[in-house]
Amino acid sequence: MKKIIGVSLILSCFSLGAKAQATSAANQNVALSLSNAIAITFVATGSAVGSSVSIPFSSVADYTNGVQSGAQQMMVQSNKPFNITMNANAANFTYSGSTTPSPTMGVSNVLSCMVVSNGTGGTVSSYFTGFYPITSTAQTIISSCTSGGNQLFSCMYKGMPNYSFPAGTYTTNVIYTATQP
């Protein structure tokens, strides 16, 4: 008699065309650490130092009426609202010429400034909507400006020395400061 031995067969079945995929995942936390940032530059130079502004007085009418400069455009980049102030670096002009002793010309008696365009989203001080004297004390010219990367404004200067001073070059440095409150 023959004995039939049964064989158990276990088959692992995979569907045709599909492959088993193994996956793994990893994650990482990324944190941006932002600081308050602000910069003010002159558009013409692309830096915090503007070109020299020359205001020539060459006629009697210039001395009588004063002479205005061209517009000086500045840009503020700030990630927060800001204010803009301006002042002269000294109370008196520096004199260069042949008169001795050197004459003393007060900046606030002769030089004034006016904001002629404002793209900052802020409010121009009512004083600087017309020509207003520049002093050696910081004065707010635009307040409550909005944050942004291209906040533009422009100012013009007016010199009015009348007939009180001898020929020569009178120089002062005007400082613009943008501040986040």
Reported as a single tens digit per residue, the pLDDT across 23-72 is 999 999 999 999 999 999 999 999 999 999 999 999 999 999 999 999 99
CA separation, residue 175 to residues 4, 39, 50, 117 (Å): 108, 13, 10, 18
- Look at the alpha carbons of 141, 139, 92, 51 in this order and tell me if their dihedral is positive or negative: negative
For residue 42, the model assigns a pLDDT of: 98
Q: CA–CA separation, 108 vs 127, rounded Å?
A: 14
Domain ranges of the chain: 38-50+62-179
Would you state the pLDDT for residue 82? 98
Question: What number is the average pLDDT over the span 146-150?
Answer: 97
Residue 6 has pLDDT above 60, yes or no: no
Mean pLDDT on 141-147: 98
**pLDDT given for residue 17 in this prediction:** 59
